[in-house]
Chains A and B, each alone.
Chain A
């Protein structure tokens, strides 16, 4: 039996109704190959038309192909119809059908500007294996950035270690971390390895799983706030990446920053605003610009 994985968000695809790609002038694509999930956004004239989220397999080119094909499924389009594709994410240089690779930092900045509008100044992207703090201007252009992909603390990976330890599915982590009578003291170690042994001790001394989750979410929030403070936080502030869907972290980051994230829940009603797709959306927007430029 394979080990149960408690931490992944479900795979899905989505087509936006009411858009006819046949009437569009530019069909562009953005593919974001992250360490955990691979995402594609197809845009028609700069508006989201289709999207998919899948887990990343062992090979980046395969993952890229699968997520792209899935996004195009039932849309009447094939890869040939997509005029320009930009790749991003850690696997960006291994996407055979992408015309250009652009850093995640630039794509997340651009994508956040698209999803939340020109008032966004600070983007926190919490990915599976990294965490980025990005300052952008009103056009979504990067002004200051910081990426931590060295230390697992403050990344999805750190959360995974805890979800695994406690056998709690990731979708429940947020809610369960608030199902405590009183917010417990934060786990004191920054290091995931030491925090884990601390947690084992806490469980043994009678803490509930929920309390331990709360204590870890807090430590994690503290970590990312440290990073954010290095680039300076200015309103509006948004969170992208898989962890943006974990309210256990989001709420605690907001509390520590004393700034509320802009519309953190809009994705629940409209999948176009899935914060996991910000990088792919930014890439698709760059693709449109690059395509237009190539046509003069």
Chain B
């Protein structure tokens, strides 16, 4: 089993996209629905024997909070499109921000 975490924690809070690579079969549904082209299907680079999985594009890894902001325009607990599109529920978004934030 492999859990891949993309994202970061910095002074302003944390933003991670977590993928369970056992559940992910590389179908690419999440890639299709993502309005910001954040995701892609890549060979599993962490396990040279495994197949394709979802990955976060290099250019978005440093700014997930900003790239994914439009999907969280209004407050509430609505899951973002990529999470909803995944047939195996392999994707989790984790967001927590520094104090002072109204979500």
Binding site for B on A (CB under 8 A): 102-103, 105-106, 141-151, 153, 189-191, 194, 223, 226-227, 230-231, 286
Contact = CB atoms under 8 A, between A and B. Distances in A.
A141 B47 contact: yes
B47 to A, nearest CB: 7
B103 interface: no
B45 A102 contact: yes
Contacts of B78: none
Interface of B: 1-5, 8-11, 16, 45-48, 61-63
Contacts of B5: 144-147, 230-231
Nearest to A192: B11
SS class, residues of chain A in contact with chain B: mixed
Contacts of B46: 103, 105-106, 142, 145
Given A142-B2, A143-B2, A148 B9 contact: yes
Given A102-B48, A106-B48, A151 B2 contact: no
B47 A194 contact: no
Given A143-B1, A143-B2, A143-B3, A151 B8 contact: yes
A135 B38 CA distance: 25
Contact of B61 (A150, A153, A189, A194): A150
Contacts of B2: 142-145
A190 B61 CA distance: 20
Given A142-B2, A143-B1, A149-B62, A226 B47 contact: no
B48 A149 contact: no
Contact of A103 (B3, B16, B45): B45
Nearest to A193: B11
A151 B64 CA distance: 13
Given A145-B46, A190-B11, 11 more contacts: A102-B48, A106-B48, A142-B46, A144-B2, A147-B5, A148-B9, A149-B62, A153-B10, A189-B11, A191-B11, A223-B9
A147 B7 CA distance: 8
A153 B10 CA distance: 8
Nearest to A101: B45
A125 to B, nearest CB: 14
A136 to B, nearest CB: 10
A151 B15 CA distance: 12
A154 to B, nearest CB: 8
